[in-house]
Amino acid sequence: MKKILAIIIMVLGIGTLSFGADKSLIKIQKAGKMIVGLDATFAPMGFRDEKGEIVGFDIDLANEVAKRLGIKAEFKPLEWDGIIFDLKSRKIDMVWNGMTITEGRKKQITFSDEYFQDGQIIFSKKDNKVNKVQELKGKIVGVQLGGSGDFALQKSEVFPSIKAVKKYATNVEALMDLEAGRIDAVVVDAVAGKYYNSKKNGLTYSSESLTKEYYGVGMRNEDKAFREAINNKLSEMKADGTFKVIYEKWFGKEEK
Domain with CATH 3.40.190.10 in the chain: 23-117+215-251, 120-211
pLDDT digits (tens, 9 = 90+) for 206-247: 989 999 889 999 999 999 999 999 999 999 999 999 999 999
pLDDT digits (tens, 9 = 90+) for 118-130: 899 999 999 999 9
Q: Which residues lie across from 213 on neighbouring strands?
A: 118
CA distance 71 to 69: 6
> Does position 4 have pLDDT exceeding 70, yes or no?
no
CA distance 93 to 65: 14
For 120-211, CATH number? 3.40.190.10
pLDDT digits (tens, 9 = 90+) for 26-46: 999 999 999 999 999 988 999
Band of residue 254 on the pLDDT scale cut at 50, 70, 90: low
CA distance 248 to 80: 27
Which of 107, 136, 108, 106 is closest to 120 using CA atoms? 136
Q: What are the percentages of helix, strand and coil residues in the chain, rounded to 5?
A: 45, 25, 30
In the DSSP assignment, the letter for residue 122 is E
Dihedral, 139, 198, 126, 149 alpha carbons, nearest 10: 10
pLDDT digits (tens, 9 = 90+) for 115-159: 998 899 999 999 999 999 999 999 999 999 999 899 999 999 999
Which of 226, 197, 56, 51 is closest to 121 using CA atoms? 197
Band of residue 253 on the pLDDT scale cut at 50, 70, 90: low
Q: Which architecture, in CATH terms, is 23-117+215-251? A: 3-Layer(aba) Sandwich (3.40)
Contact 98, 214 (CB under 8 A): no
Q: Which residues lie across from 203 on neighbouring strands?
A: 125
SS3 call for 96:
coil
CA distance 34 to 14: 30
